[in-house]
Homo-oligomer: A and B are copies of this chain.
Amino acid sequence: MTVIAETTADAVAGIADGATVLIGGFGMAGMPVALIDALIAQGATNLTVVSNNAGNGDTGLAALLAAGRVAKMICSFPRQADSYVFDGLYRDGRIDLEVVPQGNLAERMRAAGAGIGAFFCPTGVGTPLAEGKETRTIDGRDYVLELPIKGDVALIGAHAGDPLGNLVYRKTARNFGPVMATAAATTIAQVTRIVDTGDLDPEAVVTPGIYVDRIVQVTQEATA
- A13 contacts B by Cβ under 8 Å: no
Within 8 A of B (CB), among A25-81: none
Interface size on A, residues (CB 8 A): 26
| Chain B residues whose C-beta falls within 8 Å of the C-beta of A169 in the assembled complex | 203
Q: Report A123-167 residues with CB < 8 Å from chain B CB.
A: 136, 138-139, 141, 143, 147
Is A116's CB under 8 angstroms from B117's CB? no
Q: Which residues on B sit within 8 Å (CB–CB) of A117? A: 119-122, 136, 138-139, 141, 143
Residues of chain B within 8 A (CB-CB) of A119 are 111, 116-120
A138 in complex: contacting residue of B118, B141, B201, CB < 8 Å? B118
Interface residues of A (CB under 8 A from B): 107, 111, 114-122, 136, 138-139, 141, 143, 147, 168-171, 201-204, 206
Q: List 14 A-B contacts (CB under 8 A).
A: A116-B120, A116-B121, A117-B120, A117-B122, A117-B136, A117-B138, A118-B119, A118-B120, A118-B143, A119-B120, A168-B203, A169-B203, A170-B203, A201-B204
